[in-house]
Structures are given as structure tokens and as C-alpha cells.
Chain A
Amino acid sequence: MRWSAEVDGRLVECDVPGNASLAEALRGGAENTAVKVACGEGICGACSCLVAGERVHGCIYPAFRAYGQVIQTAASFADGPVARALVEAGGVQCGFCTPGMVVAVHSLSTDVPATEAGIRHALAGNLCRCTGYAGLVAGAVAGLQRLRAGEP
């Protein structure tokens, strides 16, 4: 099927199979490398992206439901305060889960406290096999604080 959406501020048009997932559409059609597929069953969060501001798991979200929508991947938040804080805290090792972590932090509503406990609950759906989450959690707390302080 012909598929189109606004992806990271750019209009994307491509052909995808009718049963394609959003991750397949973004990775295959839109050549977006900021969406990673690690589990394929919506359990690890590596494929996290925002559809009209709502966080979804791209690997199990049907592409057709995102048709014509505004989609944000980690590329939308590249080098922003959250990404920078994750890097500085040593939260990036292999990096395969990192874009999904960046999107997850950007998706948090204002009632999530920017504390270690708040972040541990908020990121429980994002798997990482490298870091033991210590650098990731510290970076996400700092990043969320900076984001809320309006840091560019």
C-alpha cells in the first residue's frame, strides 16, 4: 500500500506491505535508523516512537493506523537535552536501546517525577542488556530535569 506520514518533520511517502508494522514502514520505507527492532513483540521498547504525541511500540503498531500522522522518532530529539544527558552519564554502551530510551523520556507526562524512583517506574518497559540501567537512569533523571527547565 502507499503510505505517507510526517516523520521527524519531513513528509515521507513510500510503498509498504498492507500488514506492515510502523517500525517496518519507518525502517524500510523511510530508511529511518532511529527505530530499532529487538524483540518484535512490543516488550523491549527499542522501537519506541511518538504518533501524534503518544508513545507506541513501532514493532507491533500497524503502519496504516499511523497513516497521515505526525510521527517523532529519536531523530526528532537528536542531540537534545535528554540525549546529551544519557551520553554524559555513561548511559550509552551498545546503543541499540538508546533511541527508544530517548523517546520514552520525551513521552513522559508532567506527573512523572524526575527522580530515580520515578524514572525507574517510567522506563520499566525499556530493556537494556549492557548498562545495568545505572547510567541510563541517572542520565534520564538529569535529562528530564533539563527538558522541563526548557533547555534546548
Chain B
Amino acid sequence: MSGMPLLDAADKAAGRAKYLTDFHLPGMCHGVLVRSPHAHALLEGLDPALALAMPGVLAVLGPDDCPPHDLPGEAFYGRNLMTRPLLWREPAWLGCPVAVVLAETADQARAAVAKVQVRYQVLPHVLDLEDALAKGAVAAHLGRSNLALPFGAITYESGDLKGVFSSAPHTIETTYHTSTVQAAAMEPYACLVEPGADGGLIVHKGTPAPYELRHQMAHWLGLRPEQVRVVVPAQIGGGFGSRMDDLEYVAALACRKLQRPVRLELERSEGLVAGRVRHGARIRVRSAMDDDGNLLAREIEADYNAGAHLDLGPYVVLRALRPLALYRCQAVRFSGRLVTTNAPVASATRGFGNPQATFAVESHNDELCRRFGLDPIEWRRRHLLRSGDKNLSVGVVDTQTGQFVAKGATISSCALDRCLDVVQGALSEPVGAPLEGWIRGKGMAVAMHTTGKGRNEISNAKVVLRADGGVEVHSGAPDQGGTGVATSLAMIAGEVLGLPPQQIRVVLADTAAELADSGAHASGRTYIAGETVRQAAEKAKQLRADGAPLPIDAHVAWSPQTNAPPFAACAAVVDVDPQTGQSRVVRLLQAIDIGRVLNPLMAKGQIQGAAAQGLGFALMERLDFTAHGKLLTRGLLDYGVPRTLDLPDLEVVFCGEPEPSVPLGVKGAGEIGLMAVAPAIANAIADATGARVRRLPMDGETVWRALNS
């Protein structure tokens, strides 16, 4: 294993590295949100008088002070579905913010929150996706359908689906459920907004998309984009997509009112319901097969629990297409719906809609292989995509009809065959004996993800050769908390310029630099920002070779042409205690195709970290509510994040060849390690016990019930 640790790793281990929650500015005051104790209610009155009389309290802002967030985004059916209030008159989930108290200290603000007199008219609520879809269901928002997309579903169909299904000798249909889970990044959710030059603002926030945030914030406040400066802290205590939580808008409003720096920092119990969560889902998979077990046609109906508003939901549910696209057959159909409920708001979370659907499809594949007595690895070899095949999961949705239009993208590289060899080898090794009374099983699954969003991607980079001999890399891309963007960019520039990465100064994600970047989404930054930096370094090197005087300032803007999917195959060996239903993963190996592996040490860490989140998703994690809508999992004590003893050593084997669509040769590493873990574990549990668990998390009770039903 070669590669290098993150450039800032020693500072982090020493406690010298400064995170947003370590920032203090002169004159800084603090905001704490007043949150609805009800899952659904109407505000009848909000009296801040008692709170305003508390020591240190500066102001209380409520819905009347706060315009909704009508971001200039994509309009669906002529309406921007992502528009939402920031302080809600009709709070639609437990913990929904209705007001903010501002005070000199966070303790004073927190004490005063209890004194804000809010009168609620409590409304009926609905948390569960299937309850929300039932006839006569409670409306999650007054006067609105729970089916949130005006066209009902995002759909895609190709081939003669009806014809193939009606003539096929075998049809298999199964339905799977996954739970709402939280990324639960270690650093509390926070932001800091200070007054800036020219009547503007400086926003410090661990956002994955600083330029998009600047654009939206300026639009919302009626400012020019240059008046809003977004600075992403160099260190963020984990992101996983979940930091797009609207906190900065409330802080900006407060900063504008008080003309002082304002910090909002959530406690963990708030963060579990206020940070964005992964959609719970119900996914039906139906396959048409011939007598030899060949897949002829397949359809997927995915219903995702959006929570209290859509946020990025329309894009998330679309990613349920990926496991459908992964297998070759004559005809496919996809239907994806978003269901509004009074659960916490679901949005981007590592994997972006793919882990739910991959769990469903890869479990289903195992079920049909068992039905036909086929080897699950050989069956997959027959049907999996190869290099040069079309990837139907890349495309756009017609926002009038909901019809998905595939762009005809081609798979540029795919090493799944070699990944399957590695998994086959691992599963053929002797596994030893389980503890007395436990039973042991083996399972596998595969997955495809993406490198970047597949459209509207851009990155800008500058490589500066200074007069004093120093070298700087400037990029608009942010690091999302230890994903290693800064280190990767230093390695890439260093490779071109013949310098050790440690000698290169990397400056990221400050919109004052005017280096637009579409953001750290979809495992895309090493490929997109990395390739941009590579080109800028080549340009600087060429200018130098041509005799240009120092300083040299080489600027490049670049957009990718494809989404270069990474692939994974996962092997799991799992022990089950039939008395309790408890499972233990004793071996977890992933064979990964991320193209060329730029930094093996940290790429392995990305796969292992994703695998741990995949294991949590599979066996432990669930945001749990009482029937009254109260949160049961109120902190990390109750919410099951995997610990050292819950995980085996996580094995990673890299199998890819350099990706041909960029000279850099890399593909996205950040998410692919999560996808195949849950279905591989489910398939191993089925192998051990003969019982199929179609619901996540597969905790002791769930497995016990499956064994005893």
C-alpha cells in the first residue's frame, strides 16, 4: 500500500487544526433556533417578550421576519418545488425551526429559547411512507397532496416491456424497505455569517457548493453575487452531503439585522433531525425471466420518503435508476415517486438515492438466482454492463411530464469482471466456524455509481508559480471534511511540476477568488477539479518552458463530458444467532473499480469509511419515532453509529484500469464503497438462515421475525 496521508493530518491529530466550531470573531453573537415540539402544527402566536427580557438577548426573529427560500433553481411543472420557508408558520416535522433567538452567548440564547411563548394548533401528522400513500391519508402539508411531484412520478421506459412480461415464462416480484438514516457527521452542524464589505456578507459554512450558495444567498437577499462571499473552512468535521441544511440563511438574516457576526451551532439532538437525512424507501422490483434464468426485462417502482419538503429529492429518487441500468436486458421500466411526510427533511446523503435501490435490486437478484438454482456470480457475469455499453442512468428529466430522457452515455471503463474474480476468490476461501449456536453464511452484491453529477459540472483552477519559487494551487472546489481534495490536488499538480505535494500550497473554495466550481457532489472532485488542476499545471509548465517570466498565473476552466461510473463488488461473511436474530459481519471485502488509484492509502480509507456507513445502514441505523411523532433516537447514545467492535477489518482490493475519458485516469471514490454492502450482508443472512430479510436495518428483532414467520 503506497500513497500519502492527508496534508493536514498531523495538525488534526495534534488538535491544532481549526474547524468552524473553533472560530471566534470579535463582536460575535449566537443564535439558537426555536424548534417545533410537534410533527405537524400551525403557529397561532409567537410572543418573544419574556425571551427578550432575558440577560444577553438581542433579538428574536420569527416567520414574519424571514422570507422563504425561493432559490433560482429548476422549476418542475412551472413551479419551483424546492422553495421552502426557513422559519415555518406550518411546522411540518418535529424540530422544524419556527424562530431564532439571538444573544451574546450561546448559553444565553439557549436559556431564552425556553421563554419564547409559541402557541401551536397541533395538526394530525403522518411519518410513514406507506401511511402517507394510503387512501384518505393525513396530509403532511395542509391542502396538499402527499405525492409531491405534480406529474406523479419520474418515469422511464425502453423496449417492449408489456410484450416481454406477457410472454415470459417466469416473473418474479419482490418489495424492499429501507429506513430513514442520518449521516451523523462528527462535527456539529454550524455556520458563521459576518458583515462584509460593500453592504454584503461573508458566509463561513461547510457547504459542498460555495458558488451555488453565493448565487442563491444573493438572490434571496436581493444582493449582487459579488456582495456575498462564501468561504468553506479548510477543515470540516465530516460532510457526507448532509450539511446543506439552510442554517446559513437564518444566520445571514440575523447578521443583516444586528450588523454583527452571528454563529449558529446545533446540539447533537437538533442535528439528528435538522441536518438532512437519507430518504427511507419502498422499492418494488419485478423481473421477467426465461427458463434458463436469463433476465429478459425488469421494472422498478421506487417510492422515497421525502420528509417535510422536497429539497433535492427529485434528483435523489432518479438515482434509483443506477442498479436498473447496471444489467443488460430487452426492456426496462422505471417509476420514481416522492412522498411528503412529517419526517425530517431528506436530501443529499452519501450515495444520493443509490444505496436504497441497490439494496433492493441486489437482494432481488440473489432471490431469483436461488429460485433458479443459479450461481449469483455467474448469473451476474452474464448480464452486467461492460465497457462500451450504454449507461441509461445518465440523462435529464422533462420537468413538464416527468419523463426521464437518457442521454445515450457510454460506459468508458468497467472492471466488474475482475472485481467478480476477486469476490469469487474470497468467497471460495474457507471461512472457519462460527461461535457455538450461531450459523454462518456468505453473500455478495455489485454496484455502479457515478463520478460527478453527469451534467452542469464546471471547475476552475489556477496554478501560480511565484517569483520566490513557491507554487500555489487555487481551486473553487471545497474539501468536504477529510475526503482529501486538497491533498489530491497537491499530488496532481506536483506530478506535473515534479514537486513533492508538501511543497505546494493549496487554497480552496473561497468565492472571492472567482474560480467557479459546481461543488463537491457525487464523488466528482478528484476527477473534475483534479483534471482542471492537471491542465492548469501543464499550462504553467509550458509557459515556464516557453520562457515566460515569473510569476506565472495559469488559469483553466474545464467541464467533463461523461460521468465515468465507478463499480464495486462486495463479499460478506456473516454470522447469525438464530435465538436472537443478532448478526455479526465477520468478513467484508470490496473489489473496487475507481480507475487509476491516485492515493491508495486515502482511497482505501474512503472505501472503508463508506463500507462502515453501509454496514450501519444494513444492520443498525434508523431514525426512530413514537406514534406521536416524538423522536426516540435523540442522540448518539440511541442512534446506532457503528463502533470498532461492530466492524471486521474492512478489506479493499482495487481492480480498475486508468479511466480513458481523462488523462488523469481516475474515477470517483467517495460513495461507491457504500452501495453493495447492505445487499451483500442481506444475501449472506439469507444464505445462513434461509430467511430473506427485505427490510433495513436488519437488526436482531427484524431478523428474528423473519426467521420465525
Q: Give Cα A46–Cα B218 distance, bound, in whole angstroms.
A: 36
Of A36, A41, A75, the residue contacting B187 (CB under 8 A) is: A36
- A-side contacts of B435, CB under 8 Å: none
Q: Give Cα A126–Cα B644 distance, bound, in whole angstroms.
A: 8
Q: Give Cα A56–Cα B3 distance, bound, in whole angstroms.
A: 35
Interface presence of B358 (CB below 8 A): no
Interface presence of B237 (CB below 8 A): yes
- A-side contacts of B267, CB under 8 Å: 40
Interface string of B424-439 (1 = CB under 8 A from A): 0000000000000000
- B-side contacts of A131, CB under 8 Å: 605, 608-609, 612
Interface presence of B441 (CB below 8 A): no
Within A20-34, the residues touching B (CB, 8 Å) are 27, 32-34
Of B235, B610, B613, the residue contacting A94 (CB under 8 A) is: B235
| Contact in complex: B14, A78 (CB < 8 Å) | yes
| Contact in complex: B636, A41 (CB < 8 Å) | yes
Interface presence of B524 (CB below 8 A): no
| Contact in complex: A129, B185 (CB < 8 Å) | yes
| Contact in complex: B13, A92 (CB < 8 Å) | yes
| Contact in complex: A88, B5 (CB < 8 Å) | yes
| Shortest beta-carbon distance from B394 to chain A in Å | 29
| Contact in complex: A33, B16 (CB < 8 Å) | yes
Interface presence of A86 (CB below 8 A): yes
Interface string of A126-145 (1 = CB under 8 A from B): 11111111111100000000
Within A80-114, the residues touching B (CB, 8 Å) are 83-84, 86-88, 90, 92-99, 102
Within B583-620, the residues touching A (CB, 8 Å) are 601-602, 604-605, 608-613
| Contact in complex: A92, B186 (CB < 8 Å) | no
Within A57-85, the residues touching B (CB, 8 Å) are 73-75, 77-79, 83-84
| Contact in complex: A79, B14 (CB < 8 Å) | yes
| Contact in complex: A78, B608 (CB < 8 Å) | no
| Contact in complex: A83, B10 (CB < 8 Å) | yes
| Contact in complex: A132, B612 (CB < 8 Å) | yes
| Contact in complex: A135, B8 (CB < 8 Å) | no
Within B552-581, the residues touching A (CB, 8 Å) are none
Interface string of B1-30 (1 = CB under 8 A from A): 001011011111111111101100000000
Interface presence of A39 (CB below 8 A): yes
Chain B: interface residue count, which band?
Answer: 35 or more
- A-side contacts of B353, CB under 8 Å: none
Instruction: Take A39-B637, A94-B481, A120-B644 as given contacts and tell me if A87 and B19 are in contact as well, using a CB distance cutoff of 8 Å.
Output: no
- A-side contacts of B188, CB under 8 Å: 37-38
Interface presence of A5 (CB below 8 A): no
Q: Give Cα A41–Cα B269 distance, bound, in whole angstroms.
A: 10
| Contact in complex: B635, A129 (CB < 8 Å) | no
Q: Give Cα A9–Cα B526 distance, bound, in whole angstroms.
A: 42
Which of B118-126, B245-253, B254-262, B645-653 lies at the interface with chain A? B645-653
- B-side contacts of A126, CB under 8 Å: 644
| Contact in complex: A17, B482 (CB < 8 Å) | no
Of A27, A33, A74, A129, the residue contacting B613 (CB under 8 A) is: A129
| Contact in complex: A43, B481 (CB < 8 Å) | no
| Contact in complex: A127, B5 (CB < 8 Å) | no
| Shortest beta-carbon distance from A78 to chain B in Å | 4
Q: Give Cα A40–Cα B186 distance, bound, in whole angstroms.
A: 11
| Contact in complex: A132, B609 (CB < 8 Å) | yes
Interface string of A35-51 (1 = CB under 8 A from B): 11111110110100000
User: Chain B interface secondary structure, helix, strand, loop or mixed?
Assistant: loop
Q: Which residue in chain B gives the minimum CB-CB distance to A59?
A: B268
| Contact in complex: A43, B14 (CB < 8 Å) | no
Q: Give Cα A40–Cα B636 distance, bound, in whole angstroms.
A: 9
- A-side contacts of B5, CB under 8 Å: 87-88, 90, 92
Q: Which residue in chain A gives the minimum CB-CB distance to B206?
A: A94
- B-side contacts of A96, CB under 8 Å: 19, 185-187, 237-238, 481
- B-side contacts of A39, CB under 8 Å: 268, 635-637
Q: Which residue in chain B gives the minimum CB-CB distance to A85?
A: B13
Q: Which residue in chain B gives the minimum CB-CB distance to A92?
A: B9
- A-side contacts of B495, CB under 8 Å: none
| Residue among A35, A39, A94, A119 facing the most chain B CB atoms (10 A cut-off) | A94
User: Chain A interface secondary structure, helix, strand, loop or mixed?
Assistant: loop
Interface presence of A124 (CB below 8 A): yes
Q: Give Cα A132–Cα B350 distance, bound, in whole angstroms.
A: 14
Instruction: Take A39-B637, A87-B5 as given contacts and tell me if A32 and B15 are in contact as well, using a CB distance cutoff of 8 Å.
Output: yes
- B-side contacts of A135, CB under 8 Å: 601, 604-605, 608
| Contact in complex: B636, A43 (CB < 8 Å) | yes
| Contact in complex: B3, A95 (CB < 8 Å) | no
Q: Which residue in chain A gives the minimum CB-CB distance to B10?
A: A87
Interface presence of A116 (CB below 8 A): yes
| Contact in complex: B238, A129 (CB < 8 Å) | yes
Interface presence of B160 (CB below 8 A): no
| Contact in complex: B636, A127 (CB < 8 Å) | yes
| Contact in complex: A121, B645 (CB < 8 Å) | yes
- A-side contacts of B377, CB under 8 Å: none
Interface presence of A147 (CB below 8 A): no
Interface presence of A12 (CB below 8 A): no
| Shortest beta-carbon distance from B230 to chain A in Å | 20
Instruction: Take A90-B3, A93-B6 as given contacts and tell me if A129 and B184 are in contact as well, using a CB distance cutoff of 8 Å.
Output: yes
Q: Give Cα A130–Cα B608 distance, bound, in whole angstroms.
A: 8
Q: Give Cα A73–Cα B16 distance, bound, in whole angstroms.
A: 11
Q: Which residue in chain A gives the minimum CB-CB distance to B612?
A: A132
Within B50-97, the residues touching A (CB, 8 Å) are none
Q: Give Cα A37–Cα B190 distance, bound, in whole angstroms.
A: 13
Q: Give Cα A36–Cα B240 distance, bound, in whole angstroms.
A: 19
Q: Give Cα A27–Cα B435 distance, bound, in whole angstroms.
A: 46
| Contact in complex: B3, A86 (CB < 8 Å) | no
| Residue among A123, A135, A137 facing the most chain B CB atoms (10 A cut-off) | A135
Instruction: Take A93-B481, A94-B236 as given contacts and tell me if A17 and B186 are in contact as well, using a CB distance cutoff of 8 Å.
Output: no
Interface presence of B168 (CB below 8 A): no
Q: Give Cα A46–Cα B635 distance, bound, in whole angstroms.
A: 14
| Shortest beta-carbon distance from B65 to chain A in Å | 29
| Contact in complex: A38, B186 (CB < 8 Å) | yes
Using CB atoms and an 8 Å cutoff, list the residues of chain A in contact with chain B. Answer: 17, 27, 32-41, 43-44, 46, 73-75, 77-79, 83-84, 86-88, 90, 92-99, 102, 116, 119-121, 123-137
* A-B CB contact pairs (8 Å), 19 listed: A32-B15, A33-B16, A40-B267, A41-B636, A43-B636, A44-B186, A73-B15, A78-B13, A83-B13, A84-B10, A94-B187, A95-B9, A95-B12, A120-B645, A124-B645, A129-B240, A130-B482, A131-B609, A132-B605
Using CB atoms and an 8 Å cutoff, list the residues of chain B in contact with chain A. Answer: 3, 5-6, 8-19, 21-22, 107, 183-188, 235-240, 267-268, 481-484, 601-602, 604-605, 608-613, 635-637, 641-645, 647, 649-650
18 additional contacts (CB under 8 A) given A94-B185, A120-B645, A132-B642: A32-B15, A33-B17, A35-B15, A36-B186, A38-B237, A39-B636, A43-B635, A75-B16, A77-B14, A94-B235, A94-B236, A96-B185, A102-B13, A125-B643, A129-B183, A131-B605, A132-B611, A132-B650
Q: Which 7 A-B pairs have the closest CB atoms?
A: A34-B15, A95-B12, A93-B482, A96-B237, A132-B612, A78-B14, A94-B482
